[in-house]
Amino acid sequence: MNRGIIKLTLRETWLATVLFALGLLLLQIMFAAIVPSFQKDVTEIVSRLAFVQQIFAALLGTDPETAVGPAALSAMPWAHPLVLAILWTHAILLPTRVPAGEIDRGTIDWLLALPLTRLNVFLSQSVVWLLSGAVLILAGFLGSLLGQLFTEAYPSVSIYQRIIINVNLLAVYVCVGGAASFFSAISNRRGRAAGAAFATVLGSFAFNALSTFNETIRRFDFVGILSYYRPLRVTDRWPLADLAVLLAAGIVLWTVGAIIFARRDLRTV
């Protein structure tokens, strides 16, 4: 790793990270304030409408029969599409800065002219997005705690269980960031790299959602990223298998991307 590259990357990305973190913080506080007020009404409505019950099940990654009730709504803040969208957007934007973003801006020659190996540059950039991701997860975690200070929200989710959920969410962030790093390494345009990563993540999200409605698709549910992130199913036991799959996928994709970046012929076009 190189301190200079890390400091430069932090200087260029800290504002975006702060804004994303504030967004997660406020979302979790809002969920804590709003969910208890309509929990009973939503439970009654969802229990009567099978289609809506299936949508809740798709979001929470559980069976339709268990997609209603206090426990389900308590898990919603960590599975809400807005929360996932913020995390995934950040996990894609930062890794696609190098090399795709540098090639796109025509500054890759300057970056590679530094007395550093390509792997050193790639690793230094990656350290920043990993640390930034941890900041985002921490902001969401603190938001849920702050929200509970003013309400009686999420009584069924202990602090220990929240830690497990957020560590699982961080593993999802690493997996998405690893995929973005791979697409960045094979692309000459940041827009293409980010678009490919977004398409992959959204496709995975849609696949997991459709698996709730179709038995055939459900057989291949294991290929979707949300199959390994089930906040409603979290107990006091760590989901070690899910964490291992997500982290392994992220690390493998990142490693392949690093190797490609180190070996490919780069030029500004």
Question: Tell me, what's the pLDDT at 59?
Answer: 60
Question: Tell me, what's the pLDDT at 268?
Answer: 59
CA pair distance 188, 186, nearest whole angstrom: 7
- For CA atoms 133, 135, 138, 143, the dihedral sign is negative
Question: Tell me, what's the pLDDT at 80?
Answer: 81
Question: Tell me, what's the pLDDT at 211?
Answer: 75
Q: Letter for the amino acid at 247?
A: L
Taking only the tens of pLDDT, the chain with its 269 residues reads 788 899 989 999 999 999 999 999 999 888 877 766 655 555 555 555 555 555 556 666 555 555 455 555 667 788 888 899 999 999 999 999 999 999 888 888 888 888 889 999 999 999 999 999 999 999 999 998 888 776 655 556 788 888 999 999 999 999 999 999 999 999 999 999 999 999 999 988 888 777 777 777 778 778 889 889 988 776 678 999 999 999 999 999 999 999 999 998 876 55
* pTM (2 d.p.): 0.88
Question: Tell me, what's the pLDDT at 50?
Answer: 55
Question: Tell me, what's the pLDDT at 46?
Answer: 55
Print the SS3 string covering the chain: CCHHHHHHHHHHHHHHHHHHHHHHHHHHHHHHHHHHHHHHHHHHHHHHCHHHHHHHHHHHCCCHHHCCCHHHHHHHHHHCHHHHHHHHHHHHHCHHHCCHHHHHHCCHHHHHCCCCCHHHHHHHHHHHHHHHHHHHHHHHHHHHHHHHHHCCCCCCCCHHHHHHHHHHHHHHHHHHHHHHHHHHHCCCCHHHHHHHHHHHHHHHHHHHHHHCCCHHHHCCHHHCHHHHCCHHHCCCCCCHHHHHHHHHHHHHHHHHHHHHHHHCCCCCC
Question: Tell me, what's the pLDDT at 214?
Answer: 73
Question: Tell me, what's the pLDDT at 58?
Answer: 60
